[in-house]
Structure 1
């Protein structure tokens, strides 16, 4: 059934829809109050270049009908998490913001955290960056004596003698003491610094009376720093309510979002995001807000522009959403919109250059190799020292950017093959893609190997044995060990323009795979994970071990040596017998 016929059968009901490419990969997930109307809009009328690019890649449509638009939103968010689609990806790569937490323990402590989903906790923030949060915790830890250790030690530490800990490890601390300290910290973090400043001033006067002038000066500097930081900027809203102000601005290609985090009467942090959009920009903003608060704390109130439909968001977020139309609140919202507009104007060229370096280069690689654009690339590199301590690495680039959580390290298990780059590659690729098949993991659009003919043959044989069809290419280096050209699976040489974005992307991938493999190899050697089988053999010292490895290249070849051959090499009868017996046991 072609797409037009399929669209005719789609119902006029709420739900989530998924677009797939010719490989059956989900490339876009959306939601709609009316599935038929929404999906039809993609295939009627004219579209801009980026949306046309999405539509050109759609070869199949799936949809799931839901009871309500809210259920459709929930399903959409879950499917985006599951599939991480190419054309939704820009909405899912944000980092979370740091918060300060007073832990809910018998002996509480102050920590910086990004995990805001636990229950029963005291959270304050967000902070603009982790350093700002850590500096605040460091200051409060000097003033208020909460514990600093992960686990209570058996005796008091230096913090107790400095007056910065109550030492619950050696004496009982009453709950009332902790309650008083926690209340003081809460007051400070909510913007009321009077009690903390008063406490510091008493410390300062006490130090002065004891003629500890340097210490008194430190207290004075701390007081001035607190006053400067907290009085820096106030928002003229006659309340202290926690709220987020969300403004957006867009042009034909890009959408800019600006979020102000207003806490305790001041903007404590801001969030900026600029990305390509492929759907209606207003719907995209609504979707972004829903995804954003999956990872961030939801405030008591959110200000948004009047164009947004907020009914579903209110139900999903379970918070108050306001559309200010006048007064100070409207001015604050306009400030967020102005910053979103300014951010778009300033960063448009930067974003376009970044797209050329990443996603556009990925699509050009597909054209060069005559394969579908490989939005997921997996690259392998091997590392060893004279055939010993063989390891391998896999790095993953998604949409032209490193996906470090997907990286994998491998220790070569087939020790017979550890001296051979060919056998190492076969073993590692078999382990990787056997797991991909068994666990139904995402397959790459391109498998890159660091090397030429030998490595490509190893990859082809391995994938054929698993009946896996993945495009293969080799990154070949020149005599200076720099990236030279591509070698296809059919062993065709593909020259690359060394000034092109494609060449630079491939070089970044190859260098990253090499760096990851080398670092792991160094770590393995330093930790002694590959203890030589020649260690701890009676009569075999370092010189004899070096002699054996230099002559035979690997322990596995030494195992094949006869008693006479070992004697001819220079070992005495007892050494040779001990060596043969030990290696037989191994």
Structure 2
């Protein structure tokens, strides 16, 4: 084949698919020329921002050179600079509430890492091994496994967990647990500081460490992956915590409460007044405290305001009796009527707690916050406070609705089984235990029902279900 001495070649790739995958991703990421034959006018790719339009416009040589350098770096597996740039764009898009754009950058980062890894992982020899390495940061350990079969990396596995024991014990425990559920490789390649002989005996396979050669390169690559993954994990956590800190400061300012830390949120749910329930979720410094979440069966039918009053009375009366620590703020999912009703109960109990409300717009999206002085404060959707309150509101909705659905499903199941004649509590329990759900009981065959209930009762139940 002809080789252009001025061109830079990458490969060889073990299969065409790997090369085309890299080609497709680079075309999505950078505004490279797509056309094989230069047209006379710009095409759709130019208008979509996926091409600079060299057919009509003169391209800045510096910009062209920069793109070429980016392509070369990516194909060599050097993605650090591009990933940092995309990460910055993703964070900025998220802060400006451009979530679709942020998701696009996130997907590009994921694809970039995958393509770069595949580029680094193509090996000409027929390697059959799992390559394991690790990295440690802030009391956590990240263990990465690169799994090669017939010279190709089939997948990457990763675990990030607290480092509660020494490093060797943590890795050995992870590997023993992982290979108890997955196929053990012909060879396991591990860092030289680990006990290869012991792991070989436990896993009953060949376990080696290498100080040079291709396996040493793959070990280094696994270590780089582990280091990158754990650094990205803590960078994301740091950014998230910084956002929550800013949000809590904004809320403290609005409520004139410098020491604000703990927030209770309440909501109610029912179906046309049937099975009314309520729930409370608790957040501290913007993070959920799920051990303090509570559910309530209520008695006020479809009266949401009365239901909130009942729930607040029961929750905080008990808290007072048991000398429990109270939240700094109670946020009600509702406007002025709900806030005023809840404040009546709070005042009657003598509880010192600020009560606020979240007001929705016509599209049922959060629009404003009613503060403790009953002032309506518009929320900027790009602000950290709005993002935090939106997460909190989603969480209370999820929690209360899932509880209501749970009770409704239980009632429906109970209603069906109560209508079946000839079976008592034990057989009903046996049916639910065997089939797992009402839907599966309804769709069970005669033979399946007879296996649980016996021939005669099974026949009777089968006929009754078909008539329902």
Task: Please indicate the TM-score interval, normalised by the length of the shorter structure.
Answer: 0.3 to 0.5
**TM-score for the superposition, normalised by structure 1:** 0.36
Between Structure 1 and Structure 2, the one with more helix by share is 2
Could you tell me the TM-score, scaled by structure 2's length? 0.44
Q: Which structure has more RCO (C-alpha within 8 Å, separation ≥ 6)? A: 2
